[in-house]
Structure 1
Amino acid sequence: MYHSWLDRWDERRARRGEVGKKTTDFILDADRAFPGAGKIASMEEFCVLADQAVADPAFFDEPSESDERFEWKDGWLKFPSDIATDIAPNNVVWAKVIESGSFDRAMVIFHHWNASARNRRIASFFSRRGITVVEIAMPYHFERSRPGSVHADYMLSPNLGRTIQSIRQAVLDGRKLIRWLKSEGYRDISVLGMSLGSWVAGLIAAHDQAVSKASLFLTAGSLA
């Protein structure tokens, strides 16, 4: 019964998200997804690069040179993303931290696409049970939104290169946050993702040994 309610909620949220969306042209934009790729004119060439990225375990690794300017104040954590985009607000990662009073366990929550608010009830539920909750803003959402946009159109769009860049940026941002939590003394770190956030959380859990548990909700069979 709970899963049925969750599916209905997701469908209603998806319909509300249709408001303000505009049709745009399909673009490969390979160099944005795979830096150094140069001009790629065909889908076949693009798919070759994509297959190489899938086979490369370092595609979702953090860069060797990372900007470590973490700022934590009044329950908010702010730090620079290691992927620079042409949208300045998107290059700064914001996360809401709900402390539990314990440094044993922490959970990072990744929201759904076009989320309009963080998950206050979920955060309160876990923080009362001794788990510090960190609600990260994924690319082009919340504080990172593109000026003038009414939804996160740059996170998933007909621009295939930008979409792949956004997913990779979300994974790298999450891994950077998890590394910071480890440095702060948290020993048991889990991830929770919903809808699009479940893809990001799942990729992080698959690539980062620091993640002990993953809860993935409303995950589709294929991101495509």
Structure 2
Amino acid sequence: MYHNWLDRWDERRARRGEEAKKVTDFILDAGRAFPGEKRIETIDEFCVLADQALSDSGFYDEPSGSSQGFERHDGWLRFPSDISTDVEENNVVWAKITESGSLDQGLVIFHHWNASARNRQIAKFFSQRGITVVEIAMPYHFERSRPGSLYADYMLSPNLGRTIQSVRQAVWDGRKLIRWLKSEGYREVSVLGMSLGSWVAGLVAAHDPGVSKVSLFLTAGSLADMVWTGRATRSIRDSLEPVIELADLRRAW
């Protein structure tokens, strides 16, 4: 029954805002994904860099000395992202805190792509059970939205490099938040992700020893396959399909 509810929820979410999604240009933009590598002109060259990043255990490690700049006020936390983009609003991370009254456990929630509201019911459910919930805004969502955009088109798009940069930024932001929670005294910190957020939460859990538990909902084995088969990402596939095969997209992402 719960799985059927999730499927119906995902279908409604996919239909929401479909009219705003347009087919856009395919762009490699390797310099965003792999700083310093701007002269990449072919998919094969891009995939070589992706292979190198895949074998680099430090690709998702945040820079040292990046623990400054946290501001907490009236149930909200804000702090600077350690990846700077050309969208000023996106460079400040916002998170909604629902207190439990205990420093025993914290839960960081990563929302789905194009989320229109935070998960108040989930936050209330866990906070009443002694778990403080922190709902982080992923890149180009909520307070971090690109001015004039109707959906989070910079978080996931046919721009291969920007998509990698956005996922990497989301992982760095999540790990920075977990480090802050630990510094505040939380004994255990878990992560929960939904849809695209499950990709980010999974990467955070895989790379950060500070994560105690992880729950992933509506996840996929491959980001490329999620885009290729998902209803909500149909416009991205329409942009990609004429110029890149699924096998190469799997390797690139």
TM range (shorter): over 0.9
Distance 2:143 2:2 in 1: 31
Counterpart CA distance in 1 for 2:213 and 2:24 is 38
8 Å contact from structure 1 (residues 118, 135) kept in 2 = yes
* 1:67–1:80 contact (8 Å) kept in structure 2: no
Structure 1 unmatched runs, 5+: none
Counterpart amino acid of residue 184 in structure 1: E
Preserved CA contact (<8 Å) 2:105 2:188: yes
The one-letter amino acid paired with 1:5 is W
Q: Does structure 2 retain, via aligned residues, the 8 Å contact 1:145–1:152?
A: yes
1:80 maps to 80
Q: Tell me the CA shift for residue 221 of structure 1.
A: 2.3
Contact 2:95–2:136 under 8 Å retained in 1: yes
Q: How far apart are the structure 1 equivalents of 2:161 and 2:194?
A: 23
Distance across 1 between alignment mates of 2:17 and 2:157: 14
Tell me, what secondary structure is at the counterpart of 2:177? helix
1:93–1:159: structure 2 CA closer, same or farther, 3 Å change rule?
A: same
CA contact (8 A) 1:34 1:49 kept: yes
Matches within 5 A, 1:128-143: 128-143=128-143
Task: State the Cα distance separating 1:148 from its structure 2 match.
Answer: 0.3
Moved more, 56-65 or 170-179: 56-65
How many Å separate the matches in 2 of 1:140 and 1:208? 23
Aligned length: 224
CA–CA distance in structure 2, aligned partners of residues 186 and 17 of structure 1: 38
* Counterpart for residue 205 of structure 2: 205
- Tell me the equivalent position of 1:3: 3
Q: Supply the distance in 2 between the matched residues of 1:12 and 1:181 (Cα, whole angstroms).
A: 34
Q: Which residue of 1 aligns with 2:92?
A: 92
Is the 2:29–2:38 contact (alpha carbons within 8 Å) kept by the matching residues of 1?
A: no
Report Cα offsets for 1:48-90 as digits up to 9, x if no partner: 0000001000000011242610000000000000000000000
2:226 equivalent to 1:222: no
What does residue 247 of structure 2 align with? none
Q: Which amino acid letter does the alignment assign opposite residue 202 of structure 1? A: G
Q: Aligned ranges for residues 32-181 of structure 1 at < 5 Å?
A: 32-66=32-66, 68-181=68-181
| Runs of 4+ off more than 3 Å | none
- In 2, the alpha carbon distance for the partners of 1:2 and 1:47 equals 39
> Residue 12 of structure 1: SS of its match in structure 2?
helix
Distance 2:195 2:146 in 1: 21
TM-score between the two structures when normalised by the length of structure 2? 0.87
Contact 1:67 1:82 in 2 (8 A): no
Q: Higher helix share goes to which structure?
A: 2
- AA aligned to 1:47 is C
Pairwise CA distance, 1:222: 1.2
**What are the ranges of 5 or more consecutive residues in structure 2 without an aligned counterpart?**
225-253
Q: How far apart in 1 are the matches of 2:221 and 2:203?
A: 14
Is the Cα contact below 8 Å between 1:69 and 1:79 reproduced in 2?
yes
Cα RMSD for the two superposed structures: 0.8
Q: Distance in 1 between matches of 2:67 and 2:107?
A: 23
Aligned to 1:19: 19
